[in-house]
Amino acid sequence: MARLASPRYYLPVLLILLLFALPLFVKSPYYLHIMAMVLFWAYMATAWNIVGGFAGQLSLGHGAYVAAGAYTSSLLFAYLGISPWFGMFIGGLVAGLMGFLVGYPTLRLRGAYYALATVGFAEGFRVILTNTTHIGKWKTGGAEGFMIPLLGNAPQHMQFISKVPYYYLILVLFLILVLICRWIDGSKLGYYLTALREDEDAALALGINTARVKLVAATLSAFFAGVGGVFYAQLIRYLEPNAIAGPIMSNQIVFLAIVGGRGTVLGPALGGLVLTLIGEITRVVFNQIMGLHLFLYGLLVVLFVIFKPRGLIEFLEVLWNRLVNLLERREGKHAA
Amino acid sequence: MALLEIEKISVFYGEMCVLRDVSLQVERGEVICVVGANGAGKSTLINTISGVLKPRSGKIIFNGEEITHLEPYQIVEKGIIQVPEGRRLFLNMTVEENLLLGSYTPRSRKKRKENLEKIFTLLPRLAERRKQIARTMSGGEQQMLAIGRAMMADPQLIMFDEPSLGLAPKVVDHVLELIKNIAAQGVTVLLVEQNVHHALELSTRGYVLENGTVVLSGTAHELLNNPHVKTAYLGL
Ligand SMILES: Nc1ncnc2c1ncn2[C@@H]1O[C@H](COP(=O)(O)OP(=O)(O)OP(=O)(O)O)[C@@H](O)[C@H]1O
Ligand SMILES: [Mg+2]
């Protein structure tokens, strides 16, 4: 109980409660959709961070995993009637397998090989999706995209008329992922990842199987990206290869994570929240300039890499500590 | 059978040959000193034994088993570890975290607690500073930590790459004393040192490496009295 009385503990709890309470105040489906998308991007940046941040291996092709998850669950749903609740797991596994296959030959090499392989693989996958209209008897739509059959309100198939359940779904997924990342950060795997990031040569000389540690991170990261892709598919209900598997998706995820704070548990999520909000605002204000938000993200990446390489999270940490100290002092006075 | 047998290895960086037909033997329980000027190829030799670099030709045999083509982590598992040049600590981690990272391989992981205790008795200063961030320690303490971390791998052969580099003379004595203690525990030692006189004094045998080839080898006593070693390395 004494522990809960400290602002260090009750503040995060309050924040999470606030996130859960938001739909009580926001009723507009438009804003709920935006809130769900903000959390989606925070989730994706957090998933990317497992390989891109914790393991320090630049992946520029996470769109492929998002697409793998999304297409897997959607096709299984449309043609075999398998619920996306279950498809989420299968989609994640398919994406994880892809992440493993891209990483296996390249993560043992030093240098830009892995980054290049992720770009090549994602681009190849996008082209295949664009040019494949059928898999056997199943119509996948190719460049036209794939429409997920609408059943109306069907919670057992992860379909809802209201946007509120989508918001809660991604909120829960996001919180679970953050908890997993916190756990990884403090686990043995986390130590090996930190060692690898700090000094790969030293880690190697100590007998750490750096190739394997990287591969585990790459596979986990792809798995969670795939799970995110399934959510995305259910929310948007329309899959277009260029939008979902293309460089826009892949790059955006990287931008968010880098601006937020690569390698920290909460930085990428913070980047996702802040940048997506900025992106939405610019979309509304300058709606005639397509892609302006991406241009802005790119600019922010450059500025942050130069001036604040640790990312937005650094500001948040300072603010957070001030707030906690302030609250602790006030409580101290009350007690006295 | 020698513990470590190196048969005519040649190592290249790109097209540049850095070690040419180097052969070397280490018997169990020995302290072997490798002497050489800057750029002679001493670090290259250690990194090749560790598997970080691969020889273009030649063989490395450890405990009668060829290890030339094994990965670094497999070689550590077999019982060879190095204390790298410049220490290469994880500077943002604590003393304890650095030590634990030294026992990654399955064999050493099982003996982690036991080895940690051993290292803390050998190096009580590390025990006092368990929670200290490595970056904030003095050079000497950092070197002790690097040695402790290597010992966590529970090695049969430990290789030191210029362990006294950048340390004050008093601290150097301390480090060399520690190496002696480690050898006394039955761990075989391969030592690369600029402090040739001191290093040879605690060694059984030595090799002199010049421009990537072994030009001289013998017992420590022979080398200490060799005219070439005297003029080139002992400054006499
Ligand atoms: N990564 C590298 N790429 C190219 N050449 C290298 C590399 N590392 C070392 N060399 C070269 O190989 C030769 C041997 O280097 P090495 O580091 O093994 O020497 P050393 O005997 O350990 O020297 P020092 O006493 O300065 O540590 C040197 O000429 C060095 O310039
Ligand atoms: Mg050297």
Query: Is pLDDT at A294 greater than 70 in this prediction?
Result: yes
Instruction: Tell me, rounded to whole angstroms, the distance of Cα B208 from its chain centroid.
Output: 16
The number of helix segments (H) and strand segments (E) in chain A equals: 14, 4
Name the residue of chain B whose CA is nearest to A209's CA. B73
- Residues A291-299: contacts with CB within 8 Å, 24+ apart? A294/A248, A294/A251, A294/A252, A294/A255, A297/A252, A297/A255, A297/A256, A297/A259, A298/A255
**What would the 3-class secondary structure string for A136-200 be?**
CCEECCHHHCEECCCCCCEHHHCECCCCHHHHHHHHHHHHHHHHHHHHHHHCHHHHHHHHHHHCH
pLDDT reported for residue A3: 64
Vertex A92 angle, CA A236 and A273, to 5°:
55
Query: Is pLDDT at B25 greater than 70 in this prediction?
Result: yes
Is B205 part of the contact surface with chain A (CB cutoff 8 Å)? no
Q: Identify the three-state secondary structure at position B77.
A: helix
Query: Is pLDDT at B224 greater than 80 in this prediction?
Result: yes
Residue of B168, B221, B224, B160 lying closest to B193 (CA atoms): B160
Query: Is pLDDT at A285 greater than 90 in this prediction?
Result: no
Q: Where is average pLDDT lowest: A83-87, A298-302, B60-64?
A: A298-302
pLDDT reported for residue B73: 95
Query: Is pLDDT at A54 greater than 90 in this prediction?
Result: yes
Q: Which two tokens stand for residue B17?
A: 């040959």
Query: Is pLDDT at A1 greater than 60 in this prediction?
Result: no
Q: Ligand 1 centre from B11 Cα, in Å?
A: 11
Average pLDDT over residues A107-125: 93
Q: Ligand 1 centre from B60 Cα, in Å?
A: 20
Of ligand 1's atoms, which has the minimum distance to the CA of residue B40?
21
Close Cβ partners of A244 (under 8 Å, ≥ 6 residues apart): A63, A66, A67, A70, A229, A232
Measured distance CA(A21)–CA(B87) in Å, rounded: 52
Pick the residue whose CA is nearest to atom 24 on ligand 1: B38
pLDDT reported for residue A302: 94
Taking the alpha carbons of B136, B142, B146, B148 in that order, is the dihedral positive or negative? negative
pLDDT reported for residue A203: 93
pLDDT reported for residue A176: 98
Set of chain A residues whose Cβ sits within 8 Å of the Cβ of B92: 194, 198
Query: To the nearest whole angstrom, how far is the Cα of B72 from the nearest Cα of chain A?
Result: 6
Q: Ligand 2 centre from B87 Cα, in Å?
A: 12
- Confidence bin at A328 (pLDDT 50/70/90): confident
Mutant choice from A206, A209, A210 vs B, greatest count of B C-beta within 10 A: A206
Set of chain B residues whose Cβ sits within 8 Å of the Cβ of A200: none
Query: Is pLDDT at B112 greater than 60 in this prediction?
Result: yes
Is B79 part of the contact surface with chain A (CB cutoff 8 Å)? no
Is A83 part of the contact surface with chain B (CB cutoff 8 Å)? no
Q: Which two tokens stand for residue A107?
A: 């993560």
pLDDT tens-digit profile of B133-183?
Answer: 999 999 999 999 999 999 999 999 999 999 999 899 999 999 999 999 999
Q: Which two tokens stand for residue A171?
A: 């909120």
- Confidence bin at B203 (pLDDT 50/70/90): very high
What predicted TM-score, i.e. pTM, was given to this entire model? 0.89
Mean pLDDT of all residues belonging to chain A: 93
**What would the 3-class secondary structure string for A90-118 be?**
HHHHHHHHHHHHHHHHHCCCCCCHHHHHH
Measured distance CA(A99)–CA(A118) in Å, rounded: 9
Q: Ligand 2 centre from B39 Cα, in Å?
A: 7
Report the CATH architecture of B4-232: 3-Layer(aba) Sandwich (3.40)
Query: Is pLDDT at A2 greater than 60 in this prediction?
Result: no
Give, for ligand 1, the residue of B11, B16, B22, B44 to mutate: max count of ligand atoms closer than 8 Å to Cβ.
B44
| Nearest-CB residue to A205 (from B77, B82, B92) | B82
Whose atoms come closest to the Cα of B17: which ligand? 1
Vertex A256 angle, CA A254 and A262, to 5°:
75
Separation of first and last alpha carbons in chain A: 19
pLDDT tens-digit profile of A223-271?
Answer: 999 999 999 999 999 999 999 999 999 999 999 999 999 999 999 999 9
pLDDT reported for residue B235: 83
Set of chain A residues whose Cβ sits within 8 Å of the Cβ of B102: 206
Set of chain A residues whose Cβ sits within 8 Å of the Cβ of B157: none
Cβ pairs bridging A and B (under 8 Å): 63
Pick the residue whose CA is nearest to atom 10 on ligand 1: B13
Average pLDDT over residues A135-143: 90
Percent of chain A with pLDDT over 70: 98
Query: Are the beta carbons of B159 and B81 closer than 8 angstroms?
Result: yes
Q: Which two tokens stand for residue B1?
A: 């059978």
Cβ distance of A207 and B104 shorter than 8 Å: yes
DSSP string, A247-305: HHHHHHHHHHHHHH-TTSSSHHHHHHHHHHHHHHHHHHHTTTSTTHHHHHHHHHHHHHH
pLDDT reported for residue B138: 93
Query: Is pLDDT at A286 greater than 90 in this prediction?
Result: no
Query: Is pLDDT at A7 greater than 90 in this prediction?
Result: no
Mean pLDDT of all residues belonging to chain B: 94
Q: Where is average pLDDT lowest: A94-103, A278-287, B44-53, B65-74?
A: A278-287
Residue of A170, A130, A145 lying closest to A23 (CA atoms): A170
The ipTM estimated for the assembled molecules is 0.86
Set of chain A residues whose Cβ sits within 8 Å of the Cβ of B100: 191
Q: Which two tokens stand for residue B127?
A: 């025990």
pLDDT reported for residue B70: 96
- Confidence bin at A335 (pLDDT 50/70/90): low
Query: Are the beta carbons of A74 and A68 closer than 8 angstroms?
Result: no
Of ligand 1's atoms, which has the minimum distance to the CA of residue B42?
21
Query: Are the beta carbons of A160 and B69 closer than 8 angstroms?
Result: no
Which CATH fold would you assign to the domain A7-17+31-335? Answer: ABC transporter involved in vitamin B12 uptake, BtuC (1.10.3470)
pLDDT reported for residue A220: 98
Taking the alpha carbons of A222, A225, A230, A233 in that order, is the dihedral positive or negative? negative
Which residues does ligand 1 sit against, CB inside 6 Å? B 13, 18, 36, 38-44, 85
Cβ distance of B52 and A202 shorter than 8 Å: no
Residue type, A192: Y
Q: Identify the three-state secondary structure at position B218.
A: strand
Query: Is pLDDT at A4 greater than 80 in this prediction?
Result: no
Pick the residue whose CA is nearest to atom 18 on ligand 1: B41
CB atoms within 10 A of CB A150: 9
Q: Identify the three-state secondary structure at position B156.
A: coil
Query: Is pLDDT at B191 greater than 80 in this prediction?
Result: yes
Q: What residue segments make up the domains of chain A, in order of their start?
A: 7-17+31-335
Average pLDDT over residues A26-33: 94
